[in-house]
Structure 1
Amino acid sequence: MGFLGEILLTAGALMLLYLVWQLWYNDMVERGQQDREAASLTEKWDAEESAQPGTPNDGVVPVIAAPGDGEIFATLRIPRFGPDYGAPLAGGVSKAKTLDKAGIGHYPDTQLPGQAGNFAVAGHRNTHGAPLNLVADLRVGDAIVIETREGWFTYRYRNSEYVQPTAVDVLNPVPREDSVAATQSVITLTSCNPKMSTAERIIAYGLFESFTPRADGAPTSLTPTEG
């Protein structure tokens, strides 16, 4: 009995260490890696802009090409999540190709940044860098910025709701409305709720505010959030 007890205690300790590694240390490492990858993309796009300058802001929102499955085409930047926060954004929402590898995934049947309709994305709240770990902390008016080679698409957070996993109408061109033509451009962030559970989904919405070409430099919406 004593030997069996020691085995059980050892197994419990190993399980605890694994949970600490998986849910804390590994997340911290991957979160830092995603931040660095986002920063690297900014440097790459800035260098390309310097080598071949684009057109300053003329008020026209560019049309972004639809990304392939798992193809990184943008980064998600949310100042509320920290001054260095950045998450690579790729096409598709499969765990294997996108969510577990890149960070944030774009629902392929939804619109693209700046287009009328719903630019909907998904990300983890825990494990694999947990890029949407703080999604419940967003406040009305917070900037949600999509950075691409062309420039920055700024959205402003509006509200959140909690839904069942079957509530796929949050991905409609007008979220939660069927057969309604979109007149606004919105962003929808989707993740699991509560943390470490898939029982529900937390859905955060934002309204498109502006596009800033890379030739104009980074927008003021990327200013670190205080308070």
Structure 2
Amino acid sequence: MPPVRDHIPVVVQGSGRRGRRAGLAGTLWAAAELTVTAGVVVLLLVVHQVWWTNRQALASARDEVHALERSWAEEPPRRPAPAPDPSPSGGGTAPTPDDGPEPRVDPGSGAGAGAGPGSGGSSSAGAPGRAGEPPARERSYAILRIPRLGLVVPVARGIDKRAVLDKGYAGHYPGTAAPGARGNFALAGHRNTHGEPFRYINRLRAGDELIVDVRGERYTYVVGKVLAQTTERDTGVIAPVPHSVVGPDQGYGEPGSYITLTTCTPEYTSRYRLVVWGTLRS
């Protein structure tokens, strides 16, 4: 009978360590893939927000300007009776710091858009005739031209984000004066994304022209003052006599026919408001 040999198990050194290393490498690889995927998604979102929305809004605003110009060429201007004076002495409803709960001066390019004076009002407007006629809803009714910036943008009533500002339009603050009328014709616009029509209004200087076309009429305002920074609740900037309630030395002190442009500042934030004021050229 052959001798019985003892069975000696063979131990492979390091196999457990290699397995742990392989598991760690797989985990790191999966984490890297997730990180890259998340980065691509974020990049696509940024491209959509910063580039694609601008492209869409610019095209929409350009088409709206052309449509307005065509409609004005095809229809004769209407001549309604002049509207009442929007100033407090004339019984108007322009918002002031004393008109109930304090509203926000909202250009619609940051958080809380649409919460400004008259929020919840009509989102856009139809075409009026002369200054003071209340425009109908659901269409733009005027064109703002700023030669210094090469800007041509439709104007609609209201500052609702989705219905007006996100289309690349300038929004006419409800309760403020009509173009060419006595009081303050106050507008808001995005500074970044969605057409960003007011992106470069910080470049405007005293003497620059702000031209507002309405069917059959043209009103030319001249930039007088620029308020580089104020709070979103500085409602005085869109009052009938525009002024800052934050900086009492900023603004105007006499009744007249004014225009106000408001937007967010600094760029890509909604922390403060940038304001440009002008007066109607007689």
TM-score by length of 2: 0.64
Which residue of 1 is the match for residue 160 of structure 2?
Answer: 94
Q: Is the 8 A contact 2:130 2:217 kept in 1?
A: no
Q: Find out whether 1:122 has 2:188 as its counterpart.
A: yes
Q: Is the 8 A contact 1:116 1:182 kept in 2?
A: no
- Aligned runs of 1:51-200 on 2, under 5 Å? 62-68=130-136, 70-82=138-150, 85-101=151-167, 103-161=169-227, 162-176=229-243, 183-200=255-272
* Structure 1 runs of 4+ with >6 Å offset: none
Q: Is the 8 A contact 2:50 2:192 kept in 1?
A: yes
In the TM superposition, residue 101 of structure 1 has moved relative to its aligned partner by: 3.1
In the TM superposition, residue 45 of structure 1 has moved relative to its aligned partner by: 0.5
Q: Is the 8 A contact 1:78 1:86 kept in 2?
A: yes
Tell me, which stretches of 5 or more residues in structure 2 are unaligned? 1-27, 80-128, 246-251
Aligned counterparts of 2:224 and 2:209: Cα–Cα separation in 1: 10
In the TM superposition, residue 47 of structure 1 has moved relative to its aligned partner by: 2.5
Which residue of 1 is the match for residue 37 of structure 2?
Answer: 10
Counterpart code for 1:35: R
Which residue of 2 is the match for residue 217 of structure 1?
Answer: none
Counterpart code for 1:120: A
SS in 2 for 1:86: strand
Which residue of 2 is the match for residue 40 of structure 1?
Answer: 67
Q: Is the 8 A contact 1:90 1:102 kept in 2?
A: no
The superposition leaves residues 41-100 of structure 1 with CA deviations (integer Å, 9 ceiling, x where unpaired) of 112202224xx799xxxxxx9433123555421111111222xx3211111112132222
Q: 1:160 to 1:175 in 2, by over 3 A?
A: same
Q: Which has the higher contact order (CA 8 A, sep 6+)?
A: 1
Q: Find out whether 1:24 has 2:51 as its counterpart.
A: yes
SS in 2 for 1:32: helix
Q: 1:70 to 1:104 in 2, by over 3 A?
A: farther
Aligned counterparts of 1:86 and 1:41: Cα–Cα separation in 2: 12
Aligned counterparts of 1:25 and 1:63: Cα–Cα separation in 2: 36
Aligned counterparts of 2:187 and 2:253: Cα–Cα separation in 1: 20
Identity %: 35
Counterpart code for 1:200: Y
Aligned counterparts of 2:174 and 2:200: Cα–Cα separation in 1: 24
Give the aligned CA root-mean-square deviation in angstroms: 2.5
Count of residue pairs brought into register by the alignment: 199
| Higher Cα Rg, which structure | 2
Aligned counterparts of 1:36 and 1:45: Cα–Cα separation in 2: 14
Aligned counterparts of 2:176 and 2:55: Cα–Cα separation in 1: 30
The superposition leaves residues 99-145 of structure 1 with CA deviations (integer Å, 9 ceiling, x where unpaired) of 22361111111111111111101111112111111111112211111
Tell me, which stretches of 5 or more residues in structure 1 are unaligned? 55-60, 211-227
* Greater helix proportion: 1
